Amino acid sequence: MRQGFTPRWTADRNGCLGRPGTTGSVAHVTERIRLVVLYGGRSAEHEVSRTSGRYVAECARAGGLVVDLVGITRDGRWVRPPARLPDRGATGEALPTLGDDLPTVSADEALERRSGESLVVFPVLHGPFGEDGTVQGLCEMAGVPYVGPGVLSSAVCMDKPVSKRLLQAAGLSVARHIALRAGEVTAETPGALLAELGSPVFVKPANLGSSIGISKAADVTQVAEALALASGYDDRLIVEEFVPGRELEVSVLGNEELRASLPGEIVPGGEFYDYDDKYLNDTAELHAPADLPDEVSEEVQNLAVAAARALGVEGLGRVDFLYDEAASPNRRLIVSEINTMPGFTPISMYPRLWAVSGLDGPALIAELVRLALDRDRRRATFAGRGRMTLEDVLSREQHAEYTRSLCDDPDLTTS
């Protein structure tokens, strides 16, 4: 696996993408690029998104892209914040709070194409109503290129039980787990879970990120409390066995060709890497790159690409692992989850791992925009996807023959 990375395109002073070290813009991207940074959202990760949004906007502008900020309030209202980023003394590392005083903007207005420019959406939305395929579907319906995985991959990666089943089907190791609905929990459930999975266990909402709603529980009382907490975030839950070992993360980037960053390691400040540890307490240690033998580093990179491919990831993703060097070979590296819109805060692992792999913030954002445009052009060549019809793909004679075959098919005729 490659240890460094050179961006394929960078933005010039006019906001057009071109090859590094060359002048002018790419032949197929001669228009200025307007990047809509969509941030905030309705999920419990709203505050994280505000911080990620600022990092993305600053890097995009530093790289020469035109940035258009669009916020989504906690109640789902789309608003237009001030175009100018406030001083860090006013809002810290985050974009401004999305309050009732901001003007409302419709999705049509926010995603409107303007003459002389290409539009790309960067949905820096974490968790449900943004990272789970919903906003991706909106962009697909609007015919707008967007950064990150598509509808299906986003939905699958957000759903922990479904993603684990698909990873297992692809031959990858995951933690033993039990999926259940909140309405199925009875007084006997905590004891049954501990009997099946051992102690301790991790109890999680099926669809959420940033370690929100997650608990480590060792006895019946703790498991019952953990189930109640997780049920406040989702009606589908997952309970996983405790897997000892180091927490590793790998950033992946690409469309048909996926590339992996150098691995990083999280050393939690508490019992596990929870929300407070990630964003509030500043007690966790983040090692980028991780101190690993070369063969382990290469193995985890290869597994990260395999896991991302198994779940159809394109654009970007962060693959999390549990590494137990004392375990048997097939259980040494456990895939924990894939995050399709990982944090883009100044301390987040996704950009940090690409930085130590040779790709700084502005170049990373430019590469993600290029990948979004590349996927949009590729998919636009498929029949029935808006800009090309079946007649564009088939010759006139082929299409006539295809039409006749439909008419002659008895299964397609009506009496």
Cα separation, 355 vs 385, whole angstroms: 36
At residue 385, the pLDDT reads 59
pLDDT value of residue 390:
45
Same fold for the domain at 10-148+362-380 and the one at 176-242?
Answer: no
CA separation for the pair 31, 123 (Å, rounded): 21
Distance from C-alpha of 34 to C-alpha of 187, rounded to nearest angstrom: 54
- 123 bridge partner residues: 38
Q: Which of these is catalytic: 240, 247, 337, 376?
A: 337
Question: Does the annotation count 320 as an active-site position?
Answer: yes
Residue 350 DSSP symbol: H
Tell which CATH architecture fits domain 10-148+362-380: 3-Layer(aba) Sandwich (3.40)
Catalytic residue among 50, 61, 236, 318: 318
Please report, in tens digits, the pLDDT of each residue of the chain (415 residues total): 545 555 554 555 445 555 443 333 333 444 689 999 999 999 888 988 999 999 999 999 999 999 999 999 999 999 999 877 766 544 456 787 888 889 999 999 999 888 888 999 999 999 889 999 999 999 999 999 999 999 999 999 999 999 999 999 999 999 999 999 999 999 999 999 999 999 999 999 998 765 788 999 999 999 999 999 999 989 999 999 999 999 999 999 999 999 999 999 998 755 655 555 454 556 678 899 999 999 999 999 999 999 999 999 999 999 999 999 989 988 999 999 999 999 998 789 999 999 999 999 999 999 999 999 999 999 888 756 554 444 444 555 555 565 556 555 555 444 4
Catalytic residue among 343, 350, 361, 376: 343
Instruction: Please report, for the chain, the start and end positions of each structural domain, with discontinuous segments joined by +.
Output: 10-148+362-380, 176-242
CB contact set of 199 (below 8 Å; sequence gap of 6+): 218, 219, 242
Q: Please confirm, yes or no, whether 402 is among the known catalytic residues.
A: no
330 is catalytic: no
Mention every residue, 6+ apart, whose C-beta is less than 8 A from residue 19: 8, 9, 10, 26
Please confirm, yes or no, whether 12 is among the known catalytic residues.
no
What is the per-residue pLDDT for 388? 46
pTM, rounded to two decimals:
0.82
Q: Nearest to residue 133, comparing CAs of 157, 110, 111?
A: 157
Instruction: Respond yes or no on whether the N-terminal peptide bond of residue 244 is cis (omega within 30° of 0).
Output: no
Q: Which of 339, 350, 370, 375 is catalytic?
A: 339
pLDDT for 26 = 33
| C-alpha dist (Å) from residue 118 to 28, 65, 146, 364 | 11, 11, 11, 19
Residue of 146, 233, 273, 279 marked catalytic: 279
Look-up: residue for tokens 């405790």? 242
CA 211 to chain centroid, in Å, comes to: 15
CB atoms within 10 A of CB 188: 9
Which of 68, 234, 277, 320 is catalytic? The answer is 320
- 101 noted as active-site residue: no
Residue pair 60/67 in contact (Cβ under 8 Å)? The answer is yes
User: How many angstroms separate the CA atoms of 340 and 345, rounded?
Assistant: 15
pLDDT for residue 398: 59
pLDDT for position 284: 72
pLDDT at 132: 93
**What top-level class would CATH report for the domain 176-242?**
alpha beta
Question: CA 170 → CA 81, 87, 240, distances in Å?
Answer: 44, 47, 19
Residue 273 burial by Cβ neighbours in a 10 Å radius (0-12, 13-18, 19+): buried
Q: Which of 210, 251, 297, 357 is catalytic?
A: 210
Specify burial of residue 176 (Cβ count, 10 A radius: 0-12, 13-18, 19+).
middle
Q: What is the pLDDT of residue 85?
A: 73
339 is catalytic: yes
